[in-house]
Amino acid sequence: MAVGKSDVEIFKPRNDKREYRRIVLPNSLEVLLISDPDTDKAAASMDVSVGYFCDPDGLEGLAHFLEHMLFYASEKYPMEDSYSKYITEHGGSANAFTSSEHTNFYFDVNVDCFEEALDRFAQFFVRPLMSPDATLREIKAVDSENQKNLLSDGWRMSQLQKHLCSKDHPYHKFSTGNWETLEVKPKSKGLDTRLELIKFYEENYSANLMHLVVYARESLNDIQKLVEREFCDIRNTERDYFHFLGQPCSLEHLQILVKAVPIREGHALKITWPITPSIRYYKEGPCRYLSHLIGHEGEGSLFYILKQLGWAISLEAGEGDWSLEFSFFYVSIELTDAGHEHIEDIVGLLFKYILLLQNSGVMKWIFDELVAICETGFHYRDKIPPIHYVVNIASNMQKAF
């Protein structure tokens, strides 16, 4: 049974009729239960505080590879791919992603099939199987995914930014992995990738580093009983949370201009600054304030001028890659052919606009307007699909202050 419930109030939108409950299982797994009698889909998301920053040296992509392997089979359900097949056959979908400090697994399914689906899902974290045959096949699948990413400008530019940062910081790592990093290089060093994978799982996947969100039609008490039964056997090795101190950029990595030829036709300009993570100032919301003003499209805005000059098609600004220790703020501008010929002028206008904002100081009326917009958005938001809702909450549970 659960050993703890939160005494803090769970704030929810005024128009939200769903019920919520936070519990902590005896193995220290933290869980948020959501009861929605009106839903036609049930969903769950498990967020593990282990990402590609944890990849061992010489095994880049191992955390992502583990994400793939956990889908294959378990001791309780040894038939390969039976989990994905069950979810698909019962009106659902399943996926996962690996980020710098987290790996998130999630699914949705028809409500009348949720109990068995959740049992199959739980086995990822209880007793998964990682057979030698599946290992080789899934390395090829990871390599295929990376080959696909090579044709994506977004992925290419993301990896380029990492490559330009300090080699001493884990942000520099190649997160996806491929045949070279997961098969060729380990083998040349006498390493067995499968054994390293099992070691990585056993050392890092601990219940106290996991956060689970479960969304179902049943009552909170019934959902709690189901969760306690399915997830109580996850091992808790009392693994300490990983902390990655330091900054990915020093002075030598700043004030540089990089030109890259895209796959897709068109021109884009992206300016990036390392900043203090805005989550440290979440009540003040500095990035939200700046992105609101720099990304504004009305008369007198930066974009308005660039569009009048015929140089820009679109402009967006905001916080990009971030952790609790570092972050980046970016301005991304889609350029016209004419704009491509005036990049220095565009950058000059951007910095003049930033200087204008600095000299003007923080305007209380703008801040109050953003507060009102955020409050309205929170209290009167439309319901989103359960699968997106659980992923969003699970991904943020560790960040609670």
Active centre residues (catalytic): 67, 138
- Contact of 339 with 310, CB cutoff 8 Å: yes
* Residues 215, 34 contacting (CB under 8 angstroms): yes
Six-digit token pair at 292?
A: 């609101």
Q: Do 142 and 61 meet the contact criterion of CB atoms below 8 Å apart?
A: yes
Show contacts of 371-375: CB within 8 Å, 24+ apart: 374/285, 374/288
Tokens of 231: 């997830």
Q: Pairing mode, if any, of strands 312-322 and 327-335?
A: antiparallel
Cβ partners under 8 Å of residue 160, min gap 6: 258, 260
Can you tell me the distance from the alpha carbon of 228 to that of 225, in angstroms, rounded to the nearest whole number? Answer: 5
Q: How many residues does the chain have?
A: 401
Q: How far is CA 16 from the centre of its chain?
A: 25
Element containing residue 68 per DSSP (H, E): helix 62-69
Residue 134 has which token pair? 């599946």
How far is Cα 16 from Cα 383, in angstroms, rounded to an integer? 8
